[in-house]
Structure 1
Amino acid sequence: MGKGANLVPNESENVEKNEVKILKWNEIRKNKWIVIDNNVYDVSRFGKKHPGGETLLKNNVGQDATDAFISFHKDVKKVEKYLKTLKIGRVVPESDVNQNEERKDELHKDFQQLRKMAEGMDLFKPSAWFYSLHFLQLIVLDLIGTYLIYQSGYQNWLTYFIAVACLVTTQAQAGWLQHDLGHLSVFKLTKMNHFAHRVVIGAIMGFSADWWNSRHFKHHAKPNAIKKDPDIRFSYFFLLGKILPKEIGKKKKGWLPYNLQQFYFFFTLPPFLIPILSAAETAIYLTRRKKFYEMMWIGIFSIRWYLMFVPMLGIYGTIKLLLLVRFFQSYWFIWSTQMSHLPMEVDYDKDLSWFRTQLITTCNVEKSAFNDWVSGHLNFQIEHHLFPTMPRHNLYKIAPHVKKLCEKYGIEYQCKTMSQATFDIYNCLKESGEIWYEAYNNMG
């Protein structure tokens, strides 16, 4: 499993082999340890200190997390000091090995070579021009929207809705920028990424960077994994994939007529996700954890909107404007992100290789100026999931090399048109609903 290129150094280069405790995979799985580059770590007491959250670690225990570890951490050497205190031994590479594991190890090595190629091509280097212009569009659109509100208020509905369109676009594009900052792909220094992240998602958008990272990193580590990916926890309202609908149906469970979910999905989750569900989840998350610093940034957003719009629209008018902006922003977000995940495989965690896991749970949408802009380059969702810290303006450059690696291992690389990806949301919901209905009524 996961035999790498010494990505995480040993505790000491002078340690003799007979002094290192050798562990087998059955011991690692039983004790819920984590393996990184064949080194074994006991993370049971580190969970609460882990920046990505305790759950993120728990979702990877008993597995080789080498590729996930390298993909999430920009500077491996910086976290080396923490790893040294957690290391308890090394795994026996040849233990519990079968043909599938050997193939998995070979794919791991090829993927690491691909990563080195990307580094050699400077694809992890952000463009200051790209991100400066991206931030500038937020300021310009926000000012235009505010100006139009001051010019007409509710008097001219056309002007009002043009203003709403500008403010929606500001929020949607700020969402893509905060996403990049959360992945540490905008600035060279981690601290600068964290600070700018709070400015964008907090002061501009009114949400918490801490809350976002907590959810989003779990999704990246185990995309479309039942019980592990928070982005697919819709059990009471929607059923996804082929496994869960059948399980729920056989148990004669179902809150809603899931065989109709392809219709009610578009009128439920998209309009309520950001205005209601995300806002409530953020408030609960920050309150329970007493994240006062995060609350401060959201407070800045509230003050900003109060000063910008209350003098013209009043309190209720400003709240209505915010909800209207959130409503359209939510549709934009759901459409841009879920077309790359919902139609893909949804199953329990099978502990597959990092590369294979991302490819079976993620698809791309064709490149174009519009598709790149409207989706924040998440039309290259495959490459983004493989290399989360890569600046998004470089994702298309590594795509041809990812395709070649897929061809070598017979892994499907899906790239769709925007229209097909949109229709596939409907199609996958319909298929999952039918599976539930048949299992519920013992029809198959």
Structure 2
Amino acid sequence: MTLEDKQAGNGRKSQQYLDEKQQANAKPVTTGRGEDSVKQEADEKCDIPRKVLKLYSWQEIRRHNHEADQWLVINRKVYDVTEWAKRHPGGHKVLNHYAGEDATDVFRAMHPKLDIVKKYLKPLLIGELAPEEPSQERNKNAQLVEDFQELRRTLEAMNMFKANWVFFFLHFAQILILETLAWLMVWYFGNGWLVTIFISFLLLISQIQSIFLQHDSGHLSVFTNSKWNHLMQKFLMSHLKGLSTKWWNSQHFQHHVKTNIYPKDPDINVSPLFLIGDIKPVKYGKKKIKCIDYEKQHLYFYLVGIPVLVPLYFNIKSIQSMYFQRCWADIAWVSSFYIRHFIMFGPFYGIFGTLLLIYGVKFLESAWMIHVTQMSHIPMKISTEENQDWFSTQVLATCNVEQSFFNDWVTGHLNFQIEHHLFPTMPRHNYHKVAPLVRSLCAKHGLPYVSKPLLEAFGDVIRALKKSAALWRDAYYET
């Protein structure tokens, strides 16, 4: 029996086990305790005796949802994270987005190593939910929450969160080989047009694969020592990409915890340049706001959006973040990106020519990355805060692209956005193994599991922009 066969069999048994367990237990989940590991809950109970914990209702917890007063619930425990938010490695906004809410599943999803983060949680513990209170807010599907948490425990037992580091080493080696080949080409053949085109192609592939690997490093803990993880991220994002790591993490983690939710997800805050989804277009239309001709925004997407995202917008926001937050380490690492290029290509292209080479490659990279990143989000549900459960939020806001070796490689496995958003710390080489179980859970609870061909997904970005433009037009011209 092959490894894939064995894991597929485990998946079928796990789903059967899920269903049988629910039927056999026949107990409400509203009084369930300890959705995370037994070890974590036991450790927390050892530090603070149960009798000293205050009891809170959801009504009380919901009042603490402001930046100056932030409480959240994890595994029925209530934490005051107001002061800690300022020091949170993922940025203070990530915690603020969940203030006054249950954060059990998002907490488990975003932290690869609980034994490291739980030491920061213990001093923040102020109480727990009263026994009569449900484990989640009453507007959430408690059975779906329980099923999803059971699925996660099943996947952990199947070692689906264990990375194959040979895979990532080969990915890293690929990037270094491409960069070295580009440098050897120009040193050996000079700076002719054909050589420059070929060098640009090598650097383009290297830059695209670098962002995929950096994306992996931001979600996974490669090393046991957090300092080595931090150093690796700096190398991949700032040295290889020329962008601030701190800025990227803040933006990207907000996107993950509140995907496609206005105004918490920075990736969809693209107005007034573009209007996406069903809410902003109508709002702008009714207020008679017309910053551009939004009926042609799908054309502006190609003329403006694609050329400026990576080479202009990303770099400006990165520089602003480093300057205003005084991120000297990021400034030094980003500087090393340009120094390396000037050393490698400066003797042949000069300062201006090297900058032209850098930003020419970034322009081409931008065109690809916009399609790859937006094909799974812009056509999907975009809404204001509804405080849905973690599983529903991520499934409704993302979609997949059909698997193939080509699709996996050129998208960095971002063609499995559903699985990636549900399990951000899962290594991407395991997405296709867990996809059948996720699809099964979607079917059980009547949620759509959207998967489409690559070119159709690209086309849906334009179709979504046209749909939003039509909503704006109807609202703008209504009498």
TM-score normalised by structure 1 residue count: 0.95
**Aligned partners of 2:206, 2:409: CA distance in 1, in Å?**
12
The partner residue of 2:256 within 204, 220, 233 is 220
Residues 332-376 of structure 1: per-residue CA shift (max 9 Å, x gap): 211111101110011101110000000000000000011000000
Q: Please tell me whether residue 141 in structure 1 is matched to residue 178 in structure 2.
A: yes
Do the aligned partners of 1:2 and 1:66 also contact (CA within 8 Å) in 2? no
Q: Please tell me whether residue 31 in structure 1 is matched to residue 69 in structure 2.
A: no
The partner residue of 1:22 within 55, 58, 73 is 55
Supply the RMSD in Å over aligned alpha carbons: 2.0
Alignment partner, residue 155 of structure 2: 118
Do the aligned partners of 2:32 and 2:135 also contact (CA within 8 Å) in 1? no
Query: How many angstroms does 1:149 deviate by?
Result: 2.7
Do the aligned partners of 1:38 and 1:93 also contact (CA within 8 Å) in 2? no
Task: Give secondary structure in 1 for the equivalent of 2:381.
Answer: coil
Q: Please tell me whether residue 87 in structure 1 is matched to residue 125 in structure 2.
A: yes
Letter in 2 for 1:278: F
Letter in 1 for 2:411: S
Do the aligned partners of 2:31 and 2:134 also contact (CA within 8 Å) in 1? no
Do the aligned partners of 1:4 and 1:109 also contact (CA within 8 Å) in 2? no
Residues 383-403 of structure 1: per-residue CA shift (max 9 Å, x gap): 000111111111111100000
Alignment partner, residue 207 of structure 2: 171
- Distance of aligned partners of 1:42 and 1:3 in 2 relative to their CA distance in 1, 3 Å threshold: farther
**Aligned partners of 1:430, 1:3: CA distance in 2, in Å?**
46
**Aligned partners of 1:102, 1:355: CA distance in 2, in Å?**
14
Moved more, 178-187 or 273-282: 178-187
Alignment partner, residue 112 of structure 2: 74
- Distance of aligned partners of 1:190 and 1:367 in 2 relative to their CA distance in 1, 3 Å threshold: farther
Counterparts of residues 111-260 of structure 1 (less than 5 Å): 111-155=148-192, 157-260=193-296
Q: Please tell me whether residue 380 in structure 1 is matched to residue 416 in structure 2.
A: yes
Letter in 2 for 1:5: G
The partner residue of 1:429 within 452, 465, 468 is 465
Moved more, 131-140 or 216-225: 131-140
Query: How many angstroms does 1:191 deviate by?
Result: 3.3
Percentage of matched positions with identical amino acids: 41
**Aligned partners of 2:33, 2:372: CA distance in 1, in Å?**
35
Letter in 1 for 2:362: R
**Aligned partners of 1:43, 1:2: CA distance in 2, in Å?**
24
**Aligned partners of 1:317, 1:374: CA distance in 2, in Å?**
28
Query: How many angstroms does 1:186 deviate by?
Result: 3.9
Residues 117-152 of structure 1: per-residue CA shift (max 9 Å, x gap): 111121111112111111111111112222223344
**Aligned partners of 2:240, 2:453: CA distance in 1, in Å?**
32
Do the aligned partners of 2:112 and 2:219 also contact (CA within 8 Å) in 1? no
The partner residue of 1:409 within 445, 450, 453 is 445
Letter in 1 for 2:76: N
Alignment partner, residue 352 of structure 1: 388
Query: How many angstroms does 1:190 deviate by?
Result: 3.6
Alignment partner, residue 321 of structure 1: 357
Query: How many angstroms does 1:87 deviate by?
Result: 1.4
Moved more, 385-394 or 118-127: 118-127
Letter in 1 for 2:82: S
- Distance of aligned partners of 1:3 and 1:149 in 2 relative to their CA distance in 1, 3 Å threshold: farther
Alignment partner, residue 370 of structure 2: 334
Do the aligned partners of 1:222 and 1:228 also contact (CA within 8 Å) in 2? yes
Alignment partner, residue 83 of structure 2: 45
**Aligned partners of 2:132, 2:302: CA distance in 1, in Å?**
50
Do the aligned partners of 2:31 and 2:135 also contact (CA within 8 Å) in 1? no
Do the aligned partners of 1:41 and 1:86 also contact (CA within 8 Å) in 2? yes
Q: Which runs of 5+ in 1 are unaligned?
A: none
Alignment partner, residue 269 of structure 1: 305
Alignment partner, residue 68 of structure 2: none
- Count how many residue pairs are aligned between Structure 1 and Structure 2: 441
Runs of 4+ in 1 over 6 A off after TM superposition: none
- Distance of aligned partners of 1:15 and 1:174 in 2 relative to their CA distance in 1, 3 Å threshold: closer
Do the aligned partners of 1:362 and 1:382 also contact (CA within 8 Å) in 2? yes
Do the aligned partners of 2:238 and 2:244 also contact (CA within 8 Å) in 1? yes
**Aligned partners of 2:314, 2:278: CA distance in 1, in Å?**
27
Residues 208-239 of structure 1: per-residue CA shift (max 9 Å, x gap): 22111111000000011111001111111011
**Aligned partners of 1:2, 1:87: CA distance in 2, in Å?**
20
Residues 28-61 of structure 1: per-residue CA shift (max 9 Å, x gap): 1112221111111111111111111111111111
Task: Give secondary structure in 2 for the equivalent of 1:40.
Answer: strand
Residues 285-310 of structure 1: per-residue CA shift (max 9 Å, x gap): 01111111111111221211110010
Q: Please tell me whether residue 9 in structure 1 is matched to residue 41 in structure 2.
A: yes
**Aligned partners of 1:97, 1:129: CA distance in 2, in Å?**
40
Do the aligned partners of 1:126 and 1:185 also contact (CA within 8 Å) in 2? no
Do the aligned partners of 2:33 and 2:135 also contact (CA within 8 Å) in 1? no
Letter in 2 for 1:205: K
- Distance of aligned partners of 1:47 and 1:425 in 2 relative to their CA distance in 1, 3 Å threshold: same
Do the aligned partners of 1:174 and 1:200 also contact (CA within 8 Å) in 2? yes
Moved more, 78-87 or 274-283: 78-87
**Aligned partners of 1:35, 1:404: CA distance in 2, in Å?**
28
TM-score normalised by structure 2 residue count: 0.88
Query: How many angstroms does 1:188 deviate by?
Result: 4.8
Moved more, 368-377 or 124-133: 124-133
Task: Give secondary structure in 2 for the equivalent of 1:278.
Answer: helix
Moved more, 217-226 or 290-299: 290-299
Task: Give secondary structure in 2 for the equivalent of 1:44.
Answer: coil
